[in-house]
Amino acid sequence: MVNTNEVFHLQGKVALVTGAASGIGLATAKRLAQFGVNVMLLDINEELGEKAAQEIVAEGGSARYFTCNVVSQQDCREVTQAIEEAYGRIDILFNNAGVIRRKTVVELEEDDWDLVVDVSLKGAYNLSKFVIPVMAKTGGGSIINTGSGWGIKGGDKAAAYCAAKAGVVNLTRAMAIDHGPENIRVNCVSPGDTDTPLLREEARQLEKDEGAFLASSAQGRPLERLGTPQDIANAVLFFASDLSSWVTGSVLVVDGGGLA
């Protein structure tokens, strides 16, 4: 039988996951913990974040919650320092936090634009800025950014989100080039419509019936269903592990064939 740790090489590693209190972030934190990773859950929702960490520990995993607003460079610096002091290393960073405003450029207020771009794009920059030097000290690591199908192809009434996610996609490539010599791999997972609180929030913003909206989001995909958070978590697991040891600067679309 194959020893999974010899294949994935994740046992004992330290991962930071942003937007970890729910949805894709939570599913990924749980998946990594199942493979022996010490998971640091970063989020602004203290109640849900603490609950998520407790759930992982109750299931036999290793997890801690940290309050962190990824838009704040000070928060990102302090959290990174605290984790390095506690564990002596950071091996995996999943820049996943994101928000959406379903509006055109005419409808968007400046605050809407700033929020969407800052959380998805600036947030990835902020944490990477402080985590990369820690990774470099211990021989490298893996950074995974959450993009979107709408970071590759445009979508309706989501101008700020499309712009932010397109930025994430090309930030991924630029970081891969810059930090490959430090043995730091940087890749991007680009989900299609996935059954998360964010997708349900889109229905509310568009004043759509939630059930009908979710059903319509699954239509037209060859696999004829919405994604699950676990679908995306498995793609992140691939990039975090040694299964992808010669993969960097890559964008993996996980969308049931929606962009095919």
Domain ranges of the chain: 10-193+229-247
Q: State the Cα angle at 39 between 37 and 43, rounded to 5°.
A: 160
Q: With 90 as the cut, is the pLDDT of residue 141 above it?
A: yes
From CA 151, how far away is CA 146, in angstroms rounded?
10
pLDDT tens digit sequence for 19-37? 999 999 999 999 999 999 9
Q: With 90 as the cut, is the pLDDT of residue 52 above it?
A: yes
Tokens 């040694």: give the residue: 242
Mean pLDDT value of segment 133-143: 98
Mean pLDDT value of segment 152-165: 97
Mean pLDDT value of segment 239-258: 98
Mean pLDDT, the chain, whole residue set: 97
Query: Quick one: which of 72, 169, 50 has its CA closest to 129?
Result: 72
The CATH number of domain 10-193+229-247, selected from 1.10.3720.10, 3.40.50.300, 3.30.1540.10, 3.40.50.720: 3.40.50.720
Residue 119, both tokens: 């959380």
User: Residue 55's pLDDT band (boundaries 50, 70, 90)?
Assistant: very high
Query: Quick one: which of 210, 118, 104 has its CA closest to 158?
Result: 104
Mean pLDDT value of segment 1-16: 93
Which pLDDT belongs to residue 68? 98
Q: With 90 as the cut, is the pLDDT of residue 1 above it?
A: no
Cα 40 off chain centre by: 13
User: Residue 18's pLDDT band (boundaries 50, 70, 90)?
Assistant: very high
Which pLDDT belongs to residue 192? 97
Q: With 90 as the cut, is the pLDDT of residue 4 above it?
A: no
The reported pTM is 0.97
Which pLDDT belongs to residue 209? 96
Which pLDDT belongs to residue 61? 98
Q: With 90 as the cut, is the pLDDT of residue 227 above it?
A: yes
Using left for φ > 0, alpha for ψ between -120 and 50, and beta otherwise, residue 73 falls in alpha
Which pLDDT belongs to residue 225? 97
Which pLDDT belongs to residue 108? 98
pLDDT tens digit sequence for 99-134? 999 999 999 999 999 999 999 999 999 999 999 999
Using left for φ > 0, alpha for ψ between -120 and 50, and beta otherwise, residue 156 falls in beta
Which pLDDT belongs to residue 78? 98
Q: With 90 as the cut, is the pLDDT of residue 156 above it?
A: yes
- 161 given a catalytic annotation: yes
Catalytic residue among 65, 87, 125, 161: 161
Name, in order, each residue with C-beta under 8 angstroms of 73's C-beta and a sequence gap of 6 or more: 126, 129
Which pLDDT belongs to residue 2? 81
Which pLDDT belongs to residue 83? 98
Secondary structure string (H, E, C) spanning the chain: CCCHHHHHCCCCCEEEEECCCCHHHHHHHHHHHHCCCEEEEEECCHHHHHHHHHHHHHCCCEEEEEECCCCCHHHHHHHHHHHHHHHCCCCEEEECCCCCCCCCCCCCCHHHHHHHHHHHHHHHHHHHHHHHHHHHHCCCEEEEEECCHHHCCCCCCCHHHHHHHHHHHHHHHHHHHHHHHHCEEEEEEEECCECCHHHHHHHHHCCCCHHHHHHHHHCCCCCCCCECHHHHHHHHHHHHCHHHCCCCCCEEEECCCCCC
